[in-house]
Amino acid sequence: MSQKQWIAGINAVAAAVEHDADNVREVLIEAGAKNPRLAEIESSARRVGIDVRRVATQAIDGVVGNLRHQGVVARYAAARTWSENELKELVDAAAGRALVLLLDGVQDPHNLGACLRSAAAAGATAVVIPKDKSVQVNATVRKTSAGAADSIPVVPVTNLARTMRDLQQMGVWLYGLAGEAESPLYALDLRGNVGLVLGGEGDGLRRLTRENCDQLVRIPMPGEGVESLNVSVAAGVTLFEAVRQRQG
C-alpha cells in the first residue's frame, strides 16, 4: 500500500480515531509496547468499531517507511475532505468571527502540517489551499500536524483567486502578508471576519493572490539580516495576533 494511505504517530492516530473514525479502516499497534497512550488509542478504536491489531515493529516499519510512528499507525480508506461549497456554511457558522487561513502554494508537507497545527490551536474556521502547485494533506502532513489535520476543515480549491473573491462576498476581509508592505500586522483590527493570506516558501504571494487581498501587511522584524519568516512561523504569529485581539 502507498504511504499516503497511512498515518503514523500517537497524536495523529488518536485524532483520526476521535474526529474521523468513519475513514479509519484499521489500527496497528506495536506488540509489547508499554506506553499507556497506545492502550487508550486501542480502547477508543475498538469502542467505535475499528479493527486493531498488535503487530511486530517491523510490520509497522514496512507500511510507513521512514515516518516516526511511536508504535502506532492507522490505515485510511480516504482522507476526510471539505468542498469549496462548504466554505460559506463554515463562515456563516462563525457568526461574524470567522478566522480563515489561506495558503498560496505551500510545498513542504512539514510546513503545511505546522500551519494546520497552529490554525487548530488558534481555533481557526478553516484552512484553504490550492489543489494545484501545493502540497496536499498526506501522511507526513498528518504526522507533523499532530492530529490537527483531522480536527480543522482543510478546503482544497480549484482557483484560489476566485475563492478569495467569494470570501469577500461573504464579508471576509483578506489580509496578505508581504515583507515590503507598509502597514504592520499589529495595526489591523482582526476581531471580525478575517482571512489571513500567506505565500509559499519560495516566491511568497503570487501576483493574482496579491491583487485580490484587501490589504497587504507585514510582520515587523526589528532584527537585522532576516528578510522573512518561515511560512509556518508567520502563520502562527498572525493567527495568534487575531486570538490576542479576540480575547480582548
pTM (2 decimals)?
Answer: 0.75
Q: For the segment 193-224, what is each residue's pLDDT rounded down to a tens digit?
A: 999 999 988 778 999 999 999 999 999 987 66
pLDDT at 242 over 70: yes
**Cell of residue 22, nine digits:** 468513519
Class of domain 3-76: alpha beta
Cβ neighbours of 234 (radius 10 Å): 22
Q: For the segment 2-50, what is each residue's pLDDT rounded down to a tens digit?
A: 344 788 889 889 988 988 788 888 999 999 888 999 999 999 999 999 9
Handedness of CA 110, 37, 151, 9 (dihedral sign): positive
Domain residue limits, the chain: 3-76, 84-246
With b meaning 16 or more CB within 10 Å and e meaning fewer, what string describes 187-197? ebebeebbbbb
Whether residue 129 is annotated as binding a ligand: the answer is no
**Cell of residue 109, nine digits:** 508537507
Is residue 83 within 8 Å of residue 155, measured between CB atoms? yes
Strands, E assignment, 87-153:
99-104, 126-130
Length of the chain, in residues: 248
Confidence at 225, pLDDT banded by 50, 70, 90: low
Residue for cell digits 505546522?
A: 114
Which pLDDT does position 66 carry in this prediction?
75
Which pLDDT does position 149 carry in this prediction?
79
pLDDT, mean over the chain: 90
Whether residue 176 is annotated as binding a ligand: the answer is no
Which pLDDT does position 195 carry in this prediction?
98
Which pLDDT does position 171 carry in this prediction?
97
Whether residue 7 is annotated as binding a ligand: the answer is no
Which pLDDT does position 142 carry in this prediction?
76
In whole angstroms, give the CA distance from residue 241 to residue 237.
Answer: 6
Average pLDDT of 224-246?
89
100-104, 140-144, 176-180: least confident range: 140-144
pLDDT at 95 over 80: yes
Does CATH place domain 84-246 in 3.40.1280.10?
A: yes
